[in-house]
């Protein structure tokens, strides 16, 4: 095979090299990335103290049986969500139904004997008035009438008791919540007062923290508190101080403080570790930016400052949170523009174009 080689004259090669040196080929610059900015501001805020506690349900109840009986049906299991009035367990009722029928039959007999005794008493009264019957006979008729009246009342009480027991043979939930512990099973005999299930209500949760003695005078009822959970890193909730126990732990010198949080969506589970922050002390001046300005990469935090139309990352530490803002600590000045939208993928020195929330260029 013949290979043809192209040979450039030395003069042509020199001209090409000289052109590249004088006019180097520029790398393609990407178009400016659109970003939304906010300015670093300064405000007076209170610094928080953070205390650790555990979440507990607003209601916790060991549901017990009001009667004794044999469990015929047990339709719930641990973890089930139960609504108020839902059936938890049903007892065998045949023996109760038999005793109820017997009592009703006995009452009908007693009622008939009472009515007969009442008629006899009235008849003997008439005979007494005519001088035919004696006082003793009249008194005997009166005693018999009272005896059957008492017997009727006694049997009615038995009927009421059996009907009550039949009603309570179906154990229902006194409030809505989750079954956390099964305490019986089908075929088990339960004595009066015996446990059936443990039920918790977490529509609201309560967190108890131990406040040090030096802070307790600065925490008041109905104070707002910010609550975070180790198991819910992206969730920040607001709670309210519902109770301050005025008895200190003698060893730790701390006072129990209870905080309630609305939990209608049930994202907070009983027993979660909670970190409760209270605003305490005199306000101090801090630098604040919107929380969206904070970028985290490789366990480092920084904000993107817009400087001469380019992105410049500045490392910072964060401090107190205030509404939708957060304190930043670092080499950054009040009034500097920081990126709050479009900062996730910006690189150092990358050109940016400032736009508003609707994506339109900001007017200068």
Helix (H) or strand (E) holding 287: strand 284-290
End-to-end Cα, the chain, rounded Å: 69
What lies within 8 Å, CB to CB, of 131 at 6+ separation is: none
pLDDT (average), residues 47-71: 94
Tell me: pLDDT of 8 over 50: no
Average pLDDT score over the chain: 88
Domains and CATH numbers, the chain: 33-47+284-354 (2.40.420.20), 58-90+170-198 (2.40.50.100), 94-168 (1.10.287), 201-279 (2.40.30.170)
Segment holding 249, helix H or strand E: none
Q: Is the pLDDT of residue 27 over 60?
A: no
Torsion over CA: 350, 355, 356, 359 (sign): negative
Residue listed under structure tokens 């650790």: 52
Averaged pLDDT, 232-237: 90
Give mean pLDDT, residues 295-305. Answer: 92
**In this model, does residue 15 exceed pLDDT 50?**
no
Q: Give residue 282's pLDDT.
A: 79
Half-sphere exposure of 293 (CA within 13 A, CB side): 33
251 exposure class (CB count in 10 Å sphere: 0-12, 13-18, 19+): exposed
- Of the pLDDT bands very low, low, confident and very high (cuts 50, 70, 90), residue 16 is very low
pLDDT in tens, 343-362: 988 999 999 999 986 555 66
Q: What is the pLDDT of residues 85-106, one digit of tens each?
A: 999 999 999 999 999 999 999 9
Return the SS3 of 309: coil
What are the residues facing 55 on neighbouring strands?
Answer: 207
CB 173 within 8 A of CB 86: yes
SS3 4: coil
Interatomic CA distance for residues 202 and 270, integer angstroms? 7
pLDDT tier for residue 31 given thresholds of 50, 70 and 90: confident
Percent of the chain with pLDDT over 70: 90
| Strand, coil or helix: 100 | helix
Q: Which two tokens stand for residue 303?
A: 């904000």
pLDDT attached to residue 21: 41
Helices and strands per DSSP (H, E), number in the chain: 4, 22
pLDDT at 310: 94
Dig out the tokens for 316 from the structure. 């910072």
What global pTM score does this model have?
0.65
- Rg of the chain taking only CA atoms, in angstroms: 42
| Predicted local confidence at residue 47, as pLDDT | 80
- Reduced to 3 states (helix: H, G, I; strand: E, B; else coil), residue 127 is helix
- In angstroms, the CA 250 to CA 161 distance is 51
Distances (CA, A) of 310 to 104, 334, 363: 93, 19, 18
Question: pLDDT value at position 86?
Answer: 97
Over residues 200-232, the pLDDT tens digits come to 999 999 999 999 999 999 999 999 999 999 999
Residue 20, CB-side half-sphere exposure with 13 Å CA sphere: 5
Neighbours of 273 (CB within 10 A): 13
Report pLDDT for 332. Answer: 93
What does the alpha-carbon distance between residue 19 and residue 30 come to, in Å, rounded to a whole number?
Answer: 25
- Contact predicate 338/289, CB 8 Å: yes
pLDDT tens, 130-172? 777 788 877 888 888 899 999 999 999 999 999 999 999 999 9
Q: How far apart are CA 48 and CA 63, in angstroms?
A: 41
Select the more confidently predicted residue: 7 or 263.
263
315 membership: H or E segment, kind and range: strand 310-315
């Amino acid at each position: 095979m013949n290979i043809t080689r192209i040979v450039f004259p030395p003069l042509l090669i020199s001209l090409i090299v000289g052109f590249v040196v004088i006019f180097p080929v520029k790398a393609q610059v990407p178009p400016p990335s659109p970003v939304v900015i906010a300015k670093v501001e300064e405000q007076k805020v209170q610094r928080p103290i953070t205390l650790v506690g555990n979440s507990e349900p607003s209601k916790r109840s060991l549901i017990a049986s009001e009667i004794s009986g044999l469990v015929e049906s047990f339709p719930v299991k641990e973890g089930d969500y139960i609504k108020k009035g839902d059936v938890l367990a049903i007892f065998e009722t045949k023996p109760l139904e038999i005793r109820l029928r017997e009592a009703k039959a006995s009452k009908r007999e007693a009622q008939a004997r009472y009515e007969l005794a009442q008629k006899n008493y009235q008849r003997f009264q008439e005979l007494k008035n005519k001088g035919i019957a004696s006082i003793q006979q009249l008194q005997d008729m009166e005693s018999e009438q009272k005896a059957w009246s008492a017997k009727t009342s006694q049997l009615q009480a038995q009927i009421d008791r059996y009907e009550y027991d039949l009603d309570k043979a179906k154990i229902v939930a006194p409030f809505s919540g989750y079954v956390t512990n099964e305490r019986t099973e089908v075929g088990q005999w339960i004595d009066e007062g015996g446990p059936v299930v443990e039920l918790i209500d977490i529509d609201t949760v309560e967190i108890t923290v131990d406040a040090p003695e030096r802070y307790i005078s600065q925490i008041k009822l109905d104070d707002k508190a910010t609550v975070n959970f180790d198991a819910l890193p992206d969730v920040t909730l607001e709670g309210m101080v519902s109770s301050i126990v005025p008895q200190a732990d003698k060893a730790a010198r701390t006072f129990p403080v209870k905080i309630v949080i609305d939990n209608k969506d049930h994202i907070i589970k009983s027993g979660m570790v909670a970190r409760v922050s209270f605003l305490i002390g005199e306000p101090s001046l801090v630098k604040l930016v919107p929380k969206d300005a904070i970028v985290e990469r490789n366990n480092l935090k920084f904000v993107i400052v817009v400087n001469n139309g380019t992105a410049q990352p500045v490392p910072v530490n964060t401090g107190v949170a205030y509404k939708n803002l957060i304190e930043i600590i670092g080499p950054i000045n009040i009034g500097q523009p920081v990126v709050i939208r479009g900062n996730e993928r910006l690189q150092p020195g990358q050109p940016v174009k400032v736009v508003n929330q609707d994506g339109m260029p900001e007017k200068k």
